[in-house]
């Protein structure tokens, strides 16, 4: 496989366009991009075209379709140049498997608290314009729900990565969630949900 080369073109008129087409002959285009720059107080403008290409190996003869695709471009609105297409085969794209749904490692009775604290975290993260994991990650969330820390020291030991400013602002609110879970027992889901809203 030959090295990837790059070249840019400024196409203003048909002679520039012809030179561009002649350049593409014998090349394998791997990537290209184009943008149009209008010229103020004029009907025209310039197409700025960037091409990443390889030189076609001598032992490979292009088919008529290759020559047609590399040597000609179709015209669209206002003389726009459509993207040349390389006809070399590309390995089929593998289908991405659907991501597995995250299942927290908490007791069933603690799941309502897990969901409530997760929603609280995500809501506060949106308000602060940070990612939810800036507060704590899902494994730390599982630890919070499982151990239900009763004081700030115990909570801080679990969410040790939380920045100092987020900790100062939200530690009491988070402890209130946990305390609600301790006192409400089975009714935790309803009472904590009300606190999130």
Task: Classify residue 89: in a domain, yes or no.
Answer: no
> Which among 54, 90, 91, 85 is positioned nearest to 67, based on CA atoms?
85
Task: Classify residue 92: in a domain, yes or no.
Answer: no
In this prediction the pTM is 0.45
| pLDDT tens digits along 85-127 | 444 545 555 666 555 666 788 888 888 888 888 888 888 899 9
Task: Classify residue 143: in a domain, yes or no.
Answer: yes
| pLDDT tens digits along 28-49 | 888 777 787 777 766 678 888 8
Domain count of the fold of the chain: 2
Task: Classify residue 91: in a domain, yes or no.
Answer: no
* Structural domain for 180, as ranges: 108-196
Task: Classify residue 149: in a domain, yes or no.
Answer: yes
Domain harbouring 112, CATH code? 1.10.150
Decide: 196 and 188 in contact? Cβ < 8 Å.
Answer: no
Interacting residues of 81 by C-beta distance below 8 A, sequence separation 6+: 11, 17, 20, 34, 47, 49, 73, 75
Task: Classify residue 87: in a domain, yes or no.
Answer: no
Task: Classify residue 85: in a domain, yes or no.
Answer: no
Domain match, 68 and 117 both: no
Domain match, 70 and 146 both: no
Q: What pLDDT score was predicted for residue 153? A: 92
**Mean per-residue pLDDT, 173-181:** 80
């Amino acid at each position: 496989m030959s090295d990837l080369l790059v070249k840019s073109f400024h196409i203003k008129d048909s002679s520039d366009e012809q030179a561009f087409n002649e350049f593409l002959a014998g090349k394998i285009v791997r990537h290209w991009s184009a943008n149009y720059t209008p010229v103020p107080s004029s009907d025209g403008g310039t197409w700025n075209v960037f091409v990443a290409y390889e030189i076609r190996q001598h032992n490979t003869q292009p088919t008529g379709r290759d020559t047609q695709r590399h040597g000609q471009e179709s015209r669209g609105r206002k003389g726009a140049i459509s993207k040349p297409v390389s006809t070399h085969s590309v390995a089929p794209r593998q289908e991405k498997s659907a991501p597995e749904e995250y299942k927290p490692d908490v007791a069933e009775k603690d799941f309502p608290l897990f969901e409530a604290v997760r929603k609280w975290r995500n809501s506060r993260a949106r308000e602060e314009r940070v990612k939810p994991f800036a507060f704590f990650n899902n494994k730390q969330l599982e630890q919070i729900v499982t151990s239900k820390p009763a004081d700030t020291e115990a909570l801080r030991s679990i969410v040790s990565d939380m920045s100092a400013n987020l900790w100062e602002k939200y530690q009491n609110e988070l402890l209130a969630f946990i305390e609600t879970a301790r006192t409400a027992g089975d009714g935790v889901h309803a009472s904590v949900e009300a606190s999130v809203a």
